[in-house]
Amino acid sequence: MIKLLIDFIQFLYASAPLFMSLAVLTLLAALLSKSIKRHATVCYIVSAIPFALVTVPFIGRLFGTEIFNFSRIPFLGGIIRDYIHMGTLGFPLLIIIMYMGALNPKNSIVKKLLGIRKELSIISGFPILTHSLIRVTNNFPGALKFFTDNGEYMANTKVTSVLGAGITSFSFVLGILMLALFIPLWITSFDFVHKRMGNIKWKKLQRWSYVLYAMLFIHAAGIQAGFMLNPREREQSKPAVEVSATISETHNGRNRGNSELQKQDDRDKRKDRNTVQAVVDSVKQRDSKAGRTEVTQPAGNSRHQPGRGFAEIKVDAPTKRCIHTVSLFLIFGSYLYLKLRKARRKKQQ
């Protein structure tokens, strides 16, 4: 039963990571609210470490100095990749902060989260800045070229859908505007800045957070929609250095054409089928010697096997994008509904 539950959680995390990260971070924030409040400075320092480990090598490469890539370290590398991806930490934290203004403050869990809203806002800034540092550098120049020099963009980038490329490019450019809006909102979350501004000016500035939430939805939904319309654009628009490194790692330095790779894949598939058949024949012979009369054999190329767990179920990339897009509409749609309902009730009172 426990294994089934763990497999199911792993399956949910693989197919709907945003919902799972949102649930886990909400639970952790509620359980650790007192510790986060009491040791806020320690939380900021710990949150800033992955940001520093990404920023220092990045700045070194800009100046021609190669510094050790910390993302290669097993456990730490996973955290750094989550910071860059943002979907595991930064995005869910922003959603939690966003929802606090739409839920009933008398609820015990909401009350705990409201008590650390400022701390969560500051903590969320580090993965968001990490994400922006890498994504803006890699994607913004090409996205901007789509609008400023479309002819050169289309000549150098293979796209399956011009509309998809346009939506994705717009979403990346919008990310720059989001970053410009997020930075002042984040900096003013610190107590010493808040006190120097005064409460009235601070509240006026913080109202721009609603604009940030709307831009966040458009940015995230636009990227998903653009990649669904133009699924190959992401791989083909990578910088040359990244593409070379990926090819080198994937094929172990082999320089093959597409036709040769296809032939090799066919040979590998035939070899795998022959191996499976040899194993099945071996099991048949062994069981017949032991006096057994029934042998279970997988039918054809079916991937279903007895005792298979949820974690082994593979969800393809288009399905994941559909799930993620639906998740975005559910999350932001429900937030808008709750916010409007709360405003209506407040007006009636």
8 Å CB contact between 202 and 188: yes
* Residue 257 falls inside a structural domain: yes
Q: What is the mean pLDDT of residues 236-258?
A: 39
Query: Residue 239's domain spans which residues?
Result: 2-273+322-348
* Residue 48 falls inside a structural domain: yes
* Residue 94 falls inside a structural domain: yes
The pLDDT assigned to 272 comes to: 53
pLDDT higher for 58 or 260?
A: 58
Model confidence at 293: pLDDT above 70 = no
* Residue 23 falls inside a structural domain: yes
Residue environment code for 104-130, b if the CB has 16+ CB neighbours within 10 A, otherwise e: eeeeeebebbbebebbbbbbbbbbbbb
- Specify the number of domains making up the chain: 1
pLDDT tens, 60-92? 888 888 888 888 888 888 888 888 888 888 999
pLDDT tens, 332-342? 999 999 999 98
For residue 134, report the phi and psi dihedrals to the nearest 5 degrees.
Answer: -80, -45
* Residue 282 falls inside a structural domain: no
* Residue 315 falls inside a structural domain: no
Q: Is the pTM of this model over 0.85?
A: no
The pLDDT assigned to 259 comes to: 45
User: Which residues, including other chains, have CB under 8 Å from residue 98's CB and lie 6 or more apart?
Assistant: 209, 213, 335
Longest dimension (CA), the chain: 87
Angle at CA of residue 249, ends 172 and 143, nearest 5°: 15
* Residue 246 falls inside a structural domain: yes
**Span of 9-13, 156-160, 255-259 with lowest mean pLDDT:** 255-259
The pLDDT assigned to 284 comes to: 54
End-to-end CA distance of the chain, in Å?
Answer: 49
* Residue 297 falls inside a structural domain: no
